[in-house]
Structure 1
Amino acid sequence: MTSTGGYLRRTRRSLRGRSPLVRRTDRFEARVFSLLVAAMLIMVPVAGIVIANVQSTQVALAQQQLAERTMVSATLDADPVVANAGWGEFSYVAPSTAPATWEFRGVEHHGDVQITGSEVAGDEVQVWVDRAGAVTLQPMSVSAAEFSSVLAGVAVYMFVLLIACGLFALAHWGIERARSREWSREIEAFLGSTSSH
């Protein structure tokens, strides 16, 4: 198994002028390895561009959600129904819902809200509502938007890197087969020439 340092040395030796010890397969492998390194370097600024674009979009979405969603206090109209869920011997308490009433912009609203604690009927819980006063999800924070943009850039880089490494491994496999066939032909030719004398 050739290490990265070995590939670098072989690449430098194979690309440096003509040498009787450097075969055509060595030069081809050196060029393929150079393309892999170039792809890795080129993808660094590309990943940075992806991060910047996704960050601007996600931060704008987070700011829009923060502007459109409001947290209000809702009063539970009944006790929540706690549902036990599980598989086999393992069980856990699933998130439960309960009917509740809340007021938003002078209008009373009714609906089911999610309960995460031990609240009972008459208790107040905090819920997020949209502009119409309907229950909605918690808005995304700006820090979460920035983190997701970094993850997107890293994912793009790793995806391209995996493809490039896979193509290099495939090319290396083909090069090794060609090199082995070439060595076999030359050894047979050499042994045949010596045995004839």
Structure 2
Amino acid sequence: MTGRRGAVRARLRRGTGPAARPDDRVELLCLVLCTLLAVLAVPVGLAVGTAVGTDASAEARSQRELRSEVPAVLLEDGRALTGTEAVALASWTAPDGSSGEDEVRVPAGTRAGDTVRIWLDADGRRTGAPLSETGVRVTAAVAGTVTALLLAASAVTLHAAVRALLDRARSRRWAREWAEVEPVWAARFRLR
């Protein structure tokens, strides 16, 4: 751990000392900004999670108000889809008094005459169950976590990209400078 701390100190000093090159200062500025972005990822993720959770909660309330759960009577035995799920023709009466008939998913082994529960929208069309409180929490948590992780990953990637570009520029400059100095040094060693 001490070695790592020393490397970070050396990197910070390299960008601030009197011998610091412009690209050292750019690297330091990038490091500071990317660190700030990574630190801000957590509160931004929390804010996004809260906003998404509030919206999802309002949507769940709206769905609960507009959807109705009604009993549906199976008109035939369930036809197996998988080991635990089947499909069967069923009929139901909507809250407005209209009747409907369609294929519904049912547990395997369900027989004609059995009753299952289905969800209908305000127009009497079949729909899914309203979003549950657990679904709201999961949606908010996933949105917040993904946002925070993307921001942190973006900060790391940005810093790595800037360092790679700066290292390439340093390497090219070093090669140019060495090409100028090397003939002089080589000549000195040949004279001896």
Is the Cα–Cα contact under 8 Å of residues 85 and 107 in structure 2 kept in the other structure?
yes
Partner Cα separation in structure 2 for residue 175 and residue 5 of structure 1: 22
Percent identity for Structure 1 against Structure 2: 27
Question: Which residue number in structure 2 is paired with residue 97 of structure 1?
Answer: 87
Contact 2:68 2:95 in 1 (8 A): no
List aligned pairs for 1:1-197, cutoff 5 A: 8-18=8-18, 20=19, 22-83=20-81, 92=82, 95-105=85-95, 107=97, 109-112=99-102, 113-197=104-188
Deviation at 1:152, TM superposition (A): 1.1
TM-score, normalised to structure 1, is 0.77
Alignment coverage as a number of residue pairs: 185
Alpha-carbon distance between aligned partners in 2 of 1:124 and 1:51, rounded to the nearest angstrom: 39
* RMSD (Å), alpha carbons: 2.8
Query: What are the ranges of 5 or more consecutive residues in structure 2 without an aligned counterpart?
Result: none
Secondary structure (helix, strand or coil) at the match of 2:110 reads coil
Aligned amino acid, residue 48 of structure 2: V
1:128-152 Cα offsets, whole Å, 9 max, x none, are 2223443220111122112201211
Q: Which runs of 5+ in 1 are unaligned?
A: 84-91
2:162 & 2:26 partners in 1: Cα distance? 9
Tell me: CA distance 1:73–1:7, structure 2 relative to 1, closer, same or farther (3 Å).
farther
Structure 1 residue 164, shift from structure 2 partner: 3.4
Does the 8 Å contact 1:80/1:115 carry over to 2?
yes
Deviation at 1:77, TM superposition (A): 0.8
Residue 45 to residue 76, structure 1, CA distance change in 2 (3 Å) = same
Report the CA distance between 1:125 and its aligned residue: 1.1
Contact 2:73/2:116, CA 8 A, preserved across alignment: yes
How far did residue 106 of structure 1 move?
6.9
The structure carrying a bigger helix percent of its residues is 2
Range that drifts further, 69-78 or 102-111:
102-111
Kept in 1, the 8 Å contact 2:94–2:100? The answer is no
CA 1:106–1:80: 2 relative to 1, 3 Å: same
Do the aligned partners of 2:67 and 2:121 also contact (CA within 8 Å) in 1?
A: yes
